[in-house]
Amino acid sequence: MGKDRATTPEKGIDASFYRVNPRNEWGRGLFRRSARNSVKTVFFNFTEYLSFFVALFIIQSLFWILCFTTHTNLENDRKAIASLYDADIIIDGIDAAERLAIENALYINSNLGESNFDEYSFLPPDEYNEFFRLKVTLKDKTTTEDFLEYYIDSTGVGRENVTYSTTPLYTYRQDYLRPVIKWAILVGVLLAVLSVVLLMTLYNIRTNHFKFLYGIYMTCGAGFKKLFSTAKWEMMVISMTTALASLGASWLITTLIYAKVGRTVYISGWIVLAVTALNFITVYFAVYTPMKQLSLKTPISLIMAQDNSNLVTSPRRSFKIFNKTFPYHYELYGIWRFRRYFAATLVTAIIFTILFICGVYIGEMNKTAVMTDEPEADIIIYPDDDESDIVDQMEEVSEWIEEVPGVSHTIWKNSVPASKIVSHILMKRRNLAGGAKYVLESDNLEGYPVATNYLEYRALDRHYIDTICSLYEVEGDPYAILEDSSKIIISDSIYNQKRFEFSPGNKIYAAQLLYKKERLEKVYFSELEILRDQLFFYGFDYIEYEVAAVIHGGETGGRFIVGMNYDEYVRFTGLSDLGSTISVYLDADVTSGETDDIIDKIKLTLNDYFSFDYNIDRSYATLYSELMLQRRSYTTILIFSVLLLLLSPVVWFFSQILFFQKRRKEMNLLRMFGAAEKQIERLHTFAGLVISALAMVVTVILSYIASFIVFKLMSEWLPSLGFAGGVSYSFFVSTAALLVSLAVSAICGFLSSYIPYRAGRGRRRDGDLGIMSGLGEL
């Protein structure tokens, strides 16, 4: 159809085109025209787009900071580990003949170019080691198993003749990156989703207030694609404007975060790529839905909807305001009239204050996780057969190890979960303190109706009790259990939460299996499920124990502790074969660089004073704890939270200023009908106060709901996906964060309603906007 139009004969054409486009400034390509249009739209209406500038600046800053901190953490960790360890595997216990065989194989493969290692070196025997040690740096993607198979198994040395351990360098290269990047991706996705929601909301507010523009675009032939492209271009122009500023600000913030630990902030090409990609994806998705919704409307409805604020109040409600006070009742009706708008603004703005509260909560959770104490190494002892009393022997070994400078304490842990030996304990109802989800009702023993198997029986010697007393708050006389087998020590927490209320002198009954009415062959998913069936199908004998001492808090896991002396432990549990692993904890001021020396000194002590064989299993807890502290996660999370909080005023002011701008005509009509300036001011003040009060109520309600969701997320949902675990968190709402959020919601709610009035009054005083010009505006 268009072709025959183009052939229309020319009549009376004036060749004045040079006057139209003298410098070809309109541009030839659609690309330039689109870009130019977007630049003009954005900068011509700069104040309307200001909130997008602020929002995109904050969003980009969050992306930059996330990438900077992730990259810096990885680089810092790598450098710290590489400065301490120069090999992936250390193989110990190699004698001269074995060394010859292994070295031969290493040499041949190395020369053939088929080696799966980069470097190797043999360390000669020294004062700590009587055998040769082999240090190997593996090639990428080579596992310990590959190396051992090639050079230990196939050379005939055999793994049973040597001991081997991997260093943190190996862990870093093999599977250290994955969890860090997994977290970064998770946080990145969450941030991107949040940013999309924020920008989408802002864009929805914008399209709602500027329907006219889009109506004209559609009249001129724009469909969804063109509207989407227009919106995308606008956001791109803003993104590009804020990119450098956000990069600079984020760099500064990240540098300040790491300044305290003297770490450098690293930047790399992938960070720029990742932030650019995240920015584009966010912008793409953020404008898609508003534009899709807009494109489904008819152009005329958008053009006509431009001016829908000239009704003083809706016709249905207007009759009700007679005989009511002005401006209070009037504005209450006004708020009701725009209830959908107010609800949307309240929820959107408050979401960001709630995110701040959640951020502070997550920061506190992170602190708890970092502070969990871990042993630096486990020493597995193979006692001599002629030694009769293992308890004395282990106590002696522990005491000797604790003599080594830098060792804080040791724990010889002999414990067994109650469910493993088909046992549980009965207690009185008053012994419960928030531990209801860990117990069942039982009528097996009168007066003791509460049964639980979330416990482990633990054997304690004098040394272990000394350690417990030095580390935790202990109530009562814990040493009494050493003399009296009917007494026990009990802890009151599961994970790091107090769940029970015991005091010295309390009685509990521990169950010993007597008979089974039926054999249970089900698959159980929790300890309580097991206990429920055991109470029903099994018969028990109950042994009375008196609580001699209570450990408050203390070393806790998923079970609380019932501690007894070794004789009673062996008698009650029926486990005669006691374990022989001693966990070594180091002093808090020991640095990762000193740990190898301390472990060597422990070896020397064991070699000098004992004749048994042993093996040391390193966990490198000191190093990992140091690295965790250097990550500055708490500070980073707090900064993230504050940046998210800053988005709340953006939504408040953007939304409310546009809203009251649209109501300017209404206000001018009221003035024309005789409303005094004071009344108009009171109307705005009243609107601000009502919105402010509503905002505070919504903040309190949402903060509790959101904190509970975070609590469930961190303690149940994320662990089930393999993201976190091992630490239990309590549910609380940070009072300080809640107060800050309430202040932000209240102040922003009020000011965003009042400031548009003050600004308008200033303009009117200057004679810029009189009543009539205000009326003619819309």
Partner 1 sequence: MEDRRIILETENLIRQYRQYDLVVTAVNRATFHVYEGEFVAIIGPSGSGKSTLLHLCAGLDRPNSGTIKIRGNDITKMSPDELGEFRGKYIGMIFQNHNLIPQFTALENILLPTLMCNKPEYSYEQNLRKLITALDIADRLHHLPSELSGGQQQRVAIARALINLPLIVFADEPTGNLDRKNADEVLHLLLETKELLGQTLIIVTHDMSIARKADRVMRMDNGFLAPWRITAED
Q: Which residues bind partner 1 (CB under 8 A)?
A: 1-2, 5-6, 8, 10-17, 19-21, 26, 28-30, 33-34, 37, 40-41, 44-45, 212-213, 216-226, 295-296, 298-301, 303, 315-316
| Calpha distance 732→711 (Å, rounded) | 8
Closest CA to 510 of 408, 610, 416, 584: 416
Q: How far is the CB of 291 from partner 1 (least distance, A)?
A: 11
Residue 575, phi-psi category: left (phi > 0), alpha (psi -120 to 50), beta (remainder): beta
What are the tokens at 501? 């209320």
CB of 32 to partner 1, least distance (A): 10
Task: Give 12 or 262: the residue with its C-beta nearer to partner 1.
Answer: 12
> Cβ 29 to partner 1, closest distance in Å?
8
Please, what is the minimum distance in Å from the beta carbon of residue 294 to partner 1?
A: 10
Whole-number Å distance between alpha carbons of 644 and 58 = 8
Rounded to the nearest whole angstrom, what is the least distance from the CB of residue 6 to partner 1 in the complex? 7
Nearer to partner 1, 15 or 436 (CB): 15
Which residue, 28 or 765, has its beta carbon nearer to partner 1?
28
Closest CB 329 distance from partner 1, rounded Å? 22
Q: Where on the phi/psi map is residue 337: left (φ > 0), alpha (ψ -120 to 50), or beta?
A: alpha
Tokens of 316: 């249905």
- Min. distance of Cβ 747 from partner 1 in angstroms? 33
Specify the residue, 25 or 446, whose C-beta has the smaller distance to partner 1. Answer: 25
Cβ closer to partner 1: 216 or 646? Answer: 216
Q: How far is the CB of 286 from partner 1 (least distance, A)?
A: 21
Give me the amino acid identity at 113: G
* Chain position carrying tokens 């739209």: 41
Nearer to partner 1, 45 or 174 (CB): 45
Q: Per the structure block, which two tokens stand in for 752? A: 């965003």
Nearer to partner 1, 321 or 628 (CB): 321
> Residue 217 Cβ, how far from partner 1 at the closest point, in Å?
6
3-state helix, strand, coil in the chain (%, to 5): 60, 15, 25
Quick one: 562 exposed, middle or buried, by C-beta within 10 A (0-12, 13-18, 19+)?
Answer: buried
What are the distances in angstroms from CA 80 to CA 83, 305, 504, 522, 624? 5, 63, 48, 49, 10
To partner 1, the closest distance from the beta carbon of 324 in angstroms equals 22
Q: With beta carbons less than 8 A apart as the criterion, state whether 210 and 44 touch.
A: no
- What is the C-alpha to C-alpha distance for residues 704 and 707, in angstroms, rounded to an integer? 5
Structure tokens at 33: 């025209």
Q: Are strands 89-94 and 163-166 parallel, antiparallel or unpaired?
A: antiparallel
Give residues with Cβ within 8 angstroms of 217, minimum separation 6. Answer: 226, 227, 230
φ and ψ of 726, to 5 deg: 85, -15
Question: Cβ 683 to partner 1, closest distance in Å?
Answer: 26
Q: Where are the alpha helices (DSSP H) in 338-493?
A: 339-370, 390-403, 462-471, 480-483
- For partner 1, the closer of residues 295 and 580 by Cβ is 295
Q: Single out the residue of 111, 418, 67 nearest to residue 250, CA to CA.
A: 67
Task: Using the minimum distance from each CB to partner 1, give the nearer residue, 225 or 367.
Answer: 225
Cβ–Cβ < 8 Å for 658, 50: no
Asked if residues 166 and 144 have their Cβ atoms less than 8 Å apart, the reply is yes
Q: In the complex with partner 1, which residue's Cβ is closer, 52 or 711?
A: 52
Closest CA to 534 of 420, 639, 637: 420
Residue 162 vs 302, nearer CB to partner 1: 302
- Read off φ and ψ for residue 408, nearest 5 degrees: -80, -55
| Residue partners of 36: CB distance under 8 A and separation at least 6 | 26, 27
Contact 133, 99 (CB under 8 A): no
> Residue 535 in contact with residue 546, Cβ under 8 Å?
no
Q: Within the chain, how many helices (H) and strands (E) appear?
A: 28, 20
d(CA 592, CA 633): 20
CB of 740 to partner 1, least distance (A): 39
Please compute Rg for the chain using Cα positions. 36
Nearer to partner 1, 37 or 497 (CB): 37
DSSP type of residue 579: -
Nearest Cα residue to 552 out of 474, 455, 488? 474
Rounded to whole angstroms, what are the CA distances from 644 to 56, 182, 185, 258, 284?
12, 22, 18, 21, 21
The DSSP letter of residue 93 is E
Shortest distance (Å) from residue 296 CB to partner 1: 5
Give the residue with the Cβ less far from partner 1, 303 or 433. 303
Q: Which amino acid is at 430?
A: R
User: Judged by CB, which is closer to partner 1: 11, or 522?
Assistant: 11
Dihedral in degrees, nearest 10, Cα atoms 748, 752, 758, 760: 160
CB of 242 to partner 1, least distance (A): 20
Q: Cβ closer to partner 1: 117 or 203?
A: 203
Q: How far is the CB of 22 from partner 1 (least distance, A)?
A: 9
In angstroms, what is the minimal distance from the CB of 218 to partner 1? 6
Nearer to partner 1, 229 or 581 (CB): 229
Instruction: Give the nearer residue to partner 1 in terms of CB position, either 563 or 774.
Output: 774
We find the least distance from the C-beta atom of residue 71 to partner 1, in angstroms, to be 41
